[in-house]
Structure 1
Amino acid sequence: MSLESAKSSLISTLVRHYDELVERVRRRFGDGGFAHEVIHDVCVQLLEKQQKEQPRTPLALLHKISHDQAISRYRSERRRQAWIVTLPDLPERESEAPCAVRQYAASEELELLTQAIEALPPRCQMVFVMHKIHELPQAEVARQMGISLKTVEKHLRLGLAACRAHLGRTTLEP
């Protein structure tokens, strides 16, 4: 028997036992579509590959080839699935974390504000820090420092003006 007839013998065996081979793979791997793809791959493999010799039991060889092909395809599919990022894992919007340029600009601005506050007169600096940094109400600042509410307001105006001037702005954003 020639090698070409060995190939046609395997293919004719595959055609005769196609449903049985598909069912065998489906039972093992639980998916009919997967089983059909595996058997189609086996068919392509048989058509493309040269047979070295005539198999003694073509159906047993087809069982082995289809089983090996199914395992190979299953492993490939699992590796591919491991790399796929599913939509629920993705954030719904982009990160709100500032980029490096914005972080640098913010740190520079913070340094300028610190310099401006340190340059204030001591009493003005204390009022400004208590109200703006420690977030104490103006009335509480006035009470703790023993000064009037109008004096607290005046020191806050002076502190804000000094900060604006130091930053080169007309307003300070919250």
Structure 2
Amino acid sequence: MSFDPAKPTLLSTLTRHYEDLVEQVRRRFGDRNLAREVVHDVCVQVLERGEKEGVRTPLALLRKISHDTALSRYRSDRRRQSWIVASSELPDVACGAAQPARQYEAGREFELLVEAIAELPPRCQMVFVMHKIHELPQTEVAARLDISLKTVEKHLRLGLAACRERLGRCEVAR
């Protein structure tokens, strides 16, 4: 690359028209600080990449680079702002875990259910555990225990009634 002193380089054009470039970006985007940052970024780009060969109008190229850089930064800032706004709508509680009082209450209910199931007659207890805990279909429970489907349904009603009674939910099981 040969240097022709009569032909302006990108860096010399940037130095000479620095304030014009800042003003152009400021008019388009309305923020002088942003405009200065953008032109500084353009300056860094020119220094890092070196001179381009065959640039006929360096000022036009610098204006285009400045505009594109400002637009990119503007879009990036808008995305960041929309994320911040969306984040401000998050709930106050970061974790959906139950509060200590609710955890205690749930633990106590669990203990009551275990007690109710433990007090069921053995066959009723097996039917209830197989269907409600192990989630076996009623027909499979009946087949495994060699009892009728009606007997399975009867044992389930008795088990549910015992659990409701233990929890203090006196709903009549039909």
TM class by smaller structure: 0.5 to 0.7
Mapped partners of 1:31, 1:80: distance in 2 = 18
Mapped partners of 2:74, 2:84: distance in 1 = 15
Q: Which residue, 96, 104, 107 being the options, matches 1:105?
A: 107
Change in Cα spacing, 1:77 to 1:108, as seen in structure 2 (3 Å) is same
Tell me the equivalent position of 1:36.
Answer: 36
Change in Cα spacing, 1:68 to 1:5, as seen in structure 2 (3 Å) is farther
Gap runs ≥5 in structure 1: 120-127, 134-174
Mapped partners of 2:42, 2:7: distance in 1 = 12
Tell me the equivalent position of 2:22.
Answer: 22
Mapped partners of 2:56, 2:85: distance in 1 = 47
Q: Is the 8 A contact 2:10 2:51 kept in 1?
A: no
Counterparts of 1:24-173 in structure 2 under 5 Å? 24-84=24-84, 88-92=88-92, 98=98, 102=103, 104-109=106-111, 111=113, 115=162, 118=165
Gap runs ≥5 in structure 2: 117-160
Mapped partners of 2:56, 2:75: distance in 1 = 30
RMSD: 4.1
Change in Cα spacing, 1:53 to 1:3, as seen in structure 2 (3 Å) is farther
Mapped partners of 1:42, 1:72: distance in 2 = 12
State the TM-score, normalized to the length of structure 2: 0.52
Change in Cα spacing, 1:42 to 1:3, as seen in structure 2 (3 Å) is farther
Change in Cα spacing, 1:11 to 1:129, as seen in structure 2 (3 Å) is closer
- Report how many aligned residue pairs link the two structures: 123
Mapped partners of 1:57, 1:118: distance in 2 = 89
1:74 to partner: Cα distance: 1.4
Q: In structure 2, what residue type is equivalent to 1:83?
A: W
Q: In structure 2, what residue type is equivalent to 1:98?
A: A
1:15 to partner: Cα distance: 1.4
Mapped partners of 2:5, 2:111: distance in 1 = 84
Mapped partners of 1:95, 1:7: distance in 2 = 64
Mapped partners of 1:66, 1:73: distance in 2 = 11
Superposed CA deviations along residues 43-81 of structure 1, whole A, max 9, x for unmatched, are 000000033414111111111110111111112222223
**SS of residue matched to 1:98:** coil
